[in-house]
Amino acid sequence: MSSLADTIHIENVVASSDLGQELALDQLATDLDGAEYNPEDFPGVVYRLQEPKSATLIFRSGKVVCTGAKSVDAVHDALEIVFDDLRELGIDVDSTPPVKVQNIVSSASLEQSLNLNAIAIGLGLEQIEYEPEQFPGLVYRLDDPDVVVLLFGSGKLVITGAAESADAQHALAHVNDRLTELGLLE
């Protein structure tokens, strides 16, 4: 089991925060080095960092979303750096604005090929969604933890919608148990 948990790899973490004040995005876009702002395409300023690699979206309302980070620590670091940069521009940012992790996307593997047809029937058609004509993966919605798991024929999984990194482990363990119970794993 522990070997399976080793296959879990966090691919993306999304976190949000609030500066608590309205921002003049035009001004911000010119002052902030390397920021992109195309109000016709997207209403927010996109501010990309190389270290840790991430993109932060800053909106007029003062709400901030950071995406693309590879770990929960990295997303916090990235937001700290963004807040520091904003403070340098003279924007009055709290010392610790509340940061909330919204979504963690992980990949994992069961390390064997899967028969998705049998899994679809075995797991009960009301909990899953498997439309090979539309998408090659099987969508399995779990209630606890509240995540969505995509299972592919190769045995690879994508676990999304997690609020903390332990959710991915629980989900993988749950999927593994269910499939073993149904006799669908070798």
Partner 1 sequence: MSDSTIRTYSSDQRQTDNDETVSTPDEDVLTCPECGGQVIDDEEHGESVCVDCGLVVEENGIDRGPEWRAFNSTEKDEKSRVGAPTTNMMHDKGLSTNIGWQDKDAYGNSLSSNQRQKMQRLRKWNERFRTRNSKERNLKQALGEIERMASALGLPKEVRETASVIYRRALSEDLLPGRSIEGVATAALYASARQLSTPRSIDEVANVSRIDEMEFKRTYRYIVRELSLEVAPADPAQYVPRFASDLDLPDEVERRSRELISNAQADGVTSGKSPVGLAAAAIYASSLLTNHKVTQSEVSEVTDVSEVTIRNRYQELLEATEAAA
Chain residues that interact with partner 1, rule: CB under 8 A: 113-117, 120-121, 125-126, 129-134, 136-138, 152-153
CB of 18 to partner 1, least distance (A): 30
Whole-number Å distance between alpha carbons of 185 and 177? 10
Q: Which is nearer to partner 1, 30 or 115 (CB)?
A: 115
CB 12 within 8 A of CB 69: yes
- Helix, strand, coil percentages for the chain (3-state, nearest 5): 30, 30, 40
Measured from the CB atom, is 111 or 131 closer to partner 1?
131
Which ranges of the chain does DSSP label H, i.e. alpha helix?
A: 2-6, 25-31, 72-88, 116-122, 165-181
| Residues 37, 46 contacting (CB under 8 angstroms) | yes
104/138 with CB nearer partner 1: 138
| Nearest approach, Cβ of residue 132 and partner 1 (Å) | 5
- Least distance from C-beta 17 to partner 1, angstroms? 32
- Residue number with CB closer to partner 1 (64 or 119): 119
Closest CB to partner 1 among residues 91, 116: 116
Smallest gap, in angstroms, from Cβ of residue 14 to partner 1? Answer: 23
HEC profile for 9-35? EEEEEEEEEECCCCCCHHHHHHHCCCE
Report the nearest approach of partner 1 to the CB of residue 184 (Å). Answer: 11
